Structure 1
Amino acid sequence: MPMIDVYATAGTFADPHTLARTLADTLKVIEQVPDIPMFRTNTAAFVHELADGALSNVDGDSNYVRVQVLTNAGALDRPKQLAVVEQFTAIVAEAAGDPTLTERTWVLLTEAVEGGWGLGGHANTNEELVQAARAQIAELQAAARKD
């Protein structure tokens, strides 16, 4: 259940909500997690609009985007890391309507330590997350058999 934070100067994106939804869905697909409510409702992106002048590089340029992706430990192997960075960079540039933004988009991948992933008021280990997902899949399958 990753969390995505996008930081950019206000006005960079015409439709931040669609950007957030696209990033969340893309990450869910890249992670290859089951399409169950547990993952659909807990994979989210937040677009943070910064005031003009709130960011700068050494030369004073402020037309950058920072994307921070937080996942549970081990969720992204190397091919998935590459896919997240490549696809998120392209999505951000498209959402901004600026193809040159690909050169100014930073994507940071961060893993929560084992047990450092809270959901439902509990700091979950990876195994607990896997067990919860399996339980939800079993419930959905049982409900589908009843219908």
Structure 2
Amino acid sequence: MPPTRIDDNGTYAQMWTTAMPMLDVYAPKGVFSDKHALAKELAETIVRWEKVPVIPFFTDNTAAFIHELEPESFSTAGGGSNSVRVHVTTNAGALNREQQLGLVKDIFALIAEAAADPSLTERTWVTLTEAVPGGWGIGGHAYTNEEIVRTARKLLGKE
């Protein structure tokens, strides 16, 4: 299903994405010296690429988590344990192809910069996953895309 928004007439229109994405970064322990700064930059990056309004409803519910792993706790098929995995979850249809490409490119750059290791891009994987409609639970409620749009419009004084 394509992303939807409620236009000024109160009808649904395809265009504005609605999401509170989550990013999970899995990396060997010690790769990143400032994990909080990286998490904040990653969260801000996806907000920018999704082009949602910069309001607390979105910014307070978009997060990145840095998970440090002991090198002996994971391996590639070739035996390496110096890779980074970034798993991005958005709502269904949140990113068009241009947004996917831009987001992934920016994530690679942020990971390499935060690790101070440009070669890390060769050992980093980014996966993009979509939650099912109704799959965003916030404040005890499982939001659909339309409910997220309605809530945001109310908060912006447009409904």
Q: Same fold (TM over 0.5)?
A: yes
Q: Is the 8 A contact 2:71 2:82 kept in 1?
A: no
How many residues in Structure 1 have an aligned counterpart in Structure 2? 139
Task: Extract unaligned runs of 5+ from structure 1.
Answer: 140-147
**Cα separation, 2, equivalents of 1:66 and 1:123:** 27
Partner residue in 2 for 1:114: 133
1:107 maps to amino acid: V
Say whether residues 1:3 and 2:6 are aligned partners.
Answer: no
More helix, by proportion: 1
Q: Deviations over 1:37-56 (max 9, x none)?
A: 10110110000000121111
Partner of 1:23, secondary structure, is: helix
Give the equivalent residue in structure 2 for 1:130.
149
Task: Give the aligned partner of residue 37 of structure 1.
Answer: 56
What is the one-letter code of the residue matched to 1:126? N
- Where in structure 2 are there 5+ consecutive unaligned residues? 1-19
Report the Cα distance in structure 1 between the residues aligned to 2:40 and 2:120, rounded to whole angstroms: 20
Separation of aligned partners in 2, 1:62 and 1:96: 15
Partner SS, residue 53 of structure 1: helix
SS in 1 for 2:157: helix
Identity %: 59
Tell me how large the CA RMSD over aligned residues is.
1.0
Q: Residue 138 of structure 1 aligns to a residue in which SS?
A: coil
The structural deviation recorded for 1:110 is 0.5
- The corresponding residue for 1:66 is 85
Partner of 2:116: 97
* 2:97 pairs with one of 78, 87, 92: 78
Separation in structure 1 between the aligned mates of residue 22 and residue 44 of structure 2, nearest angstrom: 11
Query: Per the alignment, in what secondary structure is the counterpart of residue 52 of structure 2?
Result: coil
**Shift in Å, 1:62:** 0.9
In structure 1, what residue type is equivalent to 2:126? V
Deviating beyond 3 angstroms after TM superposition, the runs of 4 or more aligned structure 1 residues are: none
Query: Are the counterparts in 1 of residues 27 and 69 from structure 2 also a CA contact under 8 Å?
Result: yes
Q: Separation in 2 of the partners of 1:75 and 1:3?
A: 12
TM-score by length of 2: 0.85
Question: Could you tell me how far apart the structure 2 residues matched to 1:134 and 1:104 are?
Answer: 41
